[in-house]
Amino acid sequence: MLLDAEDTAVTRRTAHALTRAGGVAAARLLSVAVTEADDNQADWIRTGVQDALEDRPTGVPALRAACRQLTRSPEEAVRRGAGAILAWTEPTGR
């Protein structure tokens, strides 16, 4: 569902739901999807993640912690995707 080629709304909603669910397992699914996604799908995954974090800003530290953990995964796709999500959630205004 994260990589639905036919309906980007499904991609966005799934990314949103996984982000709200939280945890390492959800972050891992998002990370793998980011690395397998085309540019359009990746944009919608990012939108879903960011929308969920805007709805519940307290989820940012938890998602960042899960992604930091995943950057040490033995799987390259997981490490790269987790790094991308960390970049998306980097605090702004520095």
Q: How many other C-beta atoms can be found within 10 angstroms of the C-beta atom of residue 17?
A: 14
pLDDT at 92: 65
pTM of the model: 0.92
Of 38, 39, 28, 43, the C-alpha closest to 81 is 28
* Alpha helix ranges (H) inside the chain: 8-21, 23-36, 39-55, 59-70, 76-88
pLDDT of residue 2: 86
Which residues in the chain land under pLDDT 50?
A: 93-94
The single residue listed with the structure tokens 């960390």 is 86
- pLDDT at 58 (0 to 100): 87
Q: Quick one: pLDDT at residue 94?
A: 41
